[in-house]
Structure 1
Amino acid sequence: MRVLQALFFPPEQPGGVSSMVPFMLDRFNKRGWEMELFSLPKRIRNKGNEEIEFETFDWAVYAGHPVVDKYIQTLKDYTWWTKLRIQRSFDLIHAHHPIAALVMRRVFPDTPLIMTVHSSYEKELILNGKIEENGPEHQFLTSVYRELEERSDQLITVSNSFKRYLADYVQEPERIGVIPNGFDEKRFRPVHHENQVPQLISVCRLVPAKGLDTLLQACAELKRRGHKFVLHLIGDGPIRTELEELAVQLDIYEETIFYGYILHPEDFMPFFDVFVLPSRAESFGSVYAEAALCGLAVVGTQVGGITEQIEHGTNGLLVPVDDVTALAGALEKVIGDPMYRYQLSRIALEKALKSYSMTRVVQQLRNVYRSYRKEV
């Protein structure tokens, strides 16, 4: 059975999806499946010129807005690149981005198409101050979900929380499958270590949606309470300078290290003590599972897929979004009690190995793929 895994970002790009799918593909290929990866190179811009039409709504009423116009042009570019590069047929296509799914249905109308919706682009744009809630760009992006439902043979998402979110925008939400992300266990190896000063780490794109301003304020509160720590921030993004300036204003710049983008943070993440990321939204939150697989205690927020990974007080701690005092209290608890921190991390590791292994994902997807064998 020939299967095409259609990404948007190239595999070498940072992020849960782009880093997960190549490992998944490798597992399938080792079991005798024939799979290929496909994505749009970042350098492809303004090459496509075919007209775009949707079956379930008229996108032209939203034309003229930057986000919409860029989305439509990217659809055209992805179409151009797909027709240029793919010269063979496949028995099944599994898309991991709305643009990839819509293009694949357009170019290969008779091939079964599975679409996994990994995140809510519109929610991220709202939180990052790029579009207005309920504005035209928001309406356009949420209308795409209904189009995906119409065009795909199967919709899948990564958490029950995100399935409930999608329910407002599709006609048959009960048909959406849920397959949480999985991770190659061999990439993550907990390392026994003892740090005299607690080491906190966060890995993410530096954008407002990740709540790093809340984290810096909470760390400033920790310092005022007399706690020693080092905060390691791995990632880059448009608000890096703003965050560095905030760290200076809060008098925690000496305690904070800004690394920028690192390709494989899991290589040294196991040497830290606590992973913390106070996100304002997460469909799944792959990095929390990755941190657990590295043997870290995990602190997150009560949103989205994070709450399906972390049971408060059992395998991690959860705090309300934007609650500096609660976050400082949670961090104080885990850095002040090494035994409690160890217990949280041990149970988190056990759950992650059981629930988020790549083996489990491969088994679940294999069943989905085989259900379409009779149709090809």
Structure 2
Amino acid sequence: MYPSKEKSFAGIFVKNQYEALKEIMLEDEVDIFFMKRKFTSKAGSVIKYIITFFRFFKILFKRYDIIHLHYFYPLIYIVYLYKLFYPNTKVIVTYHGSDVTKKINENNINKLKKISSIVDYHIPVGKALSEILEQKLNIKPNKILPVGVNDKVFFYEDKPKIFDFIYVGSFVSRKGVDVIIKALKNLDKSISVCFVGQGDYLKEIQELQKLNSNIKLYVGLSQDKIQHLIVQSKFLLLPTRNEGFPTSTIESMYCGVPVLVSDIPQTKEQVEDGVNGFIVPVDDVLALQNKMKELANINDEDYKVLVTNTLTFYKDISLTSVCNELIIIYRFLTKND
């Protein structure tokens, strides 16, 4: 998982974590290996994985004290291969969500249970994901640790609100983007919505733009530009169907922007309904539509209370805090080597 020219936002949290660790661990060597995203079709995805596996062979010529894998499946297979050559290398896995909830199924679960035995330290990014990990792989997580919010980028600014809602992320079904599109078709065109990202529903959003000048679309933005748009929005939208521990919601909270999310365990872990955001049922277009209409017209006093509440949530998962926790784990695993 790593950003690319094609998908500048995909895996940005891994890039942030890697760069922060390099900065903190000045006396240690920190390298990174990631898949290069040059193909976006289904056939291209297969090619991408094949090329990745061949590129990994050069890594076999160097022994690392620790391999820290982000996203369990399918790259656990090449880590398994590496472990055959270097059995004393410690393996840490950070589980992000769909690598557990979607990628592990009845066809591969027994094989993955066996392969997961090479992992020395298990880190799910959220409590709900931790429980799914135990159910599927019979793994007792060592620590729950989100990827961390880059608070040098995502922070509160008192800016005029030009958007009622903002969506940041991939335009895919898993994120519920289709639900937003359906809701917007039946909402008053005075409600302003900003989309940031790219993906399967890009054309549908572009079609909406043609019909409604209050819908804006941005593709391939840097994180600082995304922050600039978030602080100019009243609410962040995420009617998702499946998550690990969504990062866009926490980044929004660091900016003092409340969130509107769907009713799944992973978002309920983050959002207290009516306190730092609002929750609607999964796949319920009408409920989302009605809540968006209500929140677009929220009065200033009620909104100020929401903002104040939002800024008090999750201040302990900044990127620096998370990286310091990781360093403690690294030291613990290698203390007797």
**TM-score category of the 2 structures, normalised to the smaller one:** 0.7 to 0.9
Matched, 1:102 2:77: yes
| Residue 119 (1) aligns with residue 97 (2) | yes
Matched, 1:209 2:174: yes
Q: Report whether the alignment pairs 1:156 with 2:123.
A: yes
**1:26 equivalent in structure 2:** 20
Aligned-partner Cα distance in 2 for 1:328–1:43: 37
Shift of 1:93: 1.3
Gaps of 5+ in 1: 1-7, 46-65, 126-136
**Alignment match, 2:212:** 253
Equivalent position amino acid for 1:219 in 2: L
| Root mean square deviation, CA, Å | 3.2
Residue matched to 1:130: none
| Residue 232 (structure 1) shift | 0.8
Instruction: After TM superposition, give the deviation of residue 202 of structure 1 in Å.
Output: 0.5
Deviation of 1:186 after TM superposition, in Å, equals 0.6
Does residue 233 (structure 1) correspond to residue 200 (structure 2)? The answer is no
- What CA distance in whole angstroms lies between the structure 2 residues aligned with 1:70 and 1:11? 14
Equivalent residue of 2:94, what SS?
strand
Q: Which amino acid aligns with 2:125?
A: V
Tell me what 1:62 maps to: none
Aligned mates of 2:91, 2:199 — CA distance in 1: 33
**Paired residue for 1:324?**
285
Q: For 2:111 and 2:70, how far apart are their aligned partners in 1?
A: 14
Query: CA, structure 1 residues 148+267, in 2 after alignment: closer, same or farther (shift >3 Å)?
Result: farther
Query: Match of 2:257, as an amino acid?
Result: L
Look up the equivalent residue of 2:106 and give its one-letter code: Q
Residues in 2 aligned to 1:44 and 1:150: alpha-carbon distance in whole angstroms: 32
Amino acid at match of 1:186: K
Q: In the alignment, which residue of structure 2 is the partner of 1:263?
A: 222
The SS at the match of 1:273 is: strand
Task: Measure how far apart 1:113 and its partner are.
Answer: 0.6
Residues 375 and 120 (structure 1), Cα distance of their counterparts in 2 relative to 1, 3 Å cut: farther
**2:323 — aligned with what?**
362
Shift of 1:95: 0.8
Matched pairs, number: 327
Among residues 18, 31, 36, which one is paired with 1:36 in the alignment?
Answer: 31
TM-score by length of 2: 0.84
Question: How many Å apart are 1:263 and its aligned residue?
Answer: 3.1
1:286 is the counterpart of 2:251: no
Which moved further from structure 2: 253-262 or 272-281?
A: 253-262
Relative to structure 1, is the Cα distance of residues 102 and 27 closer, same or farther in structure 2, using a 3 angstrom cutoff? same
Structure 2 match to 1:177: 143
**Distance between the aligned counterparts of 1:358 and 1:331, measured in 2?**
31
CA–CA separation in structure 1 for the residues paired with 2:49 and 2:237? 36
Aligned to 2:63: 89
Contact residue 105 and residue 113 of structure 1 kept, 8 A: no
Q: Deviations over 1:94-136 (max 9, x none)?
A: 11023433313312432111011112147568xxxxxxxxxxx
Identical counterparts, % of pairs:
20
Report what 1:166 is aligned to: 133
The structural deviation recorded for 1:235 is 1.2
CA distance in 1, matches of 2:221, 2:114: 36
- C-alpha distance in 1, partners of 2:111/2:221? 32
Deviations, residues 115-166 of structure 1 (Å, cap 9, x unaligned): 11112147568xxxxxxxxxxx943455564245222112211111111222
Calculate the TM-score normalised by the size of structure 1.
Answer: 0.76
8 Å contact kept, 1:206–1:239:
yes
Query: Contact 2:93–2:123 at 8 Å: present in 1 too?
Result: yes
Q: Give 1:189 deviation, angstroms.
A: 2.8
- Listed as ranges, the matches of 1:327-366 within 5 Å are 327-336=288-297, 337-352=299-314, 354-366=315-327
- Summarize the Cα distance change of 1:175–1:236 in structure 2 as closer, same or farther, 3 Å threshold: closer
Hey, which bits of structure 1, 4+ residues long, moved more than 6 A?
none
CA distance in 2, matches of 1:269, 1:92: 36
1:288-327 counterparts in 2 under 5 A?
288-327=249-288
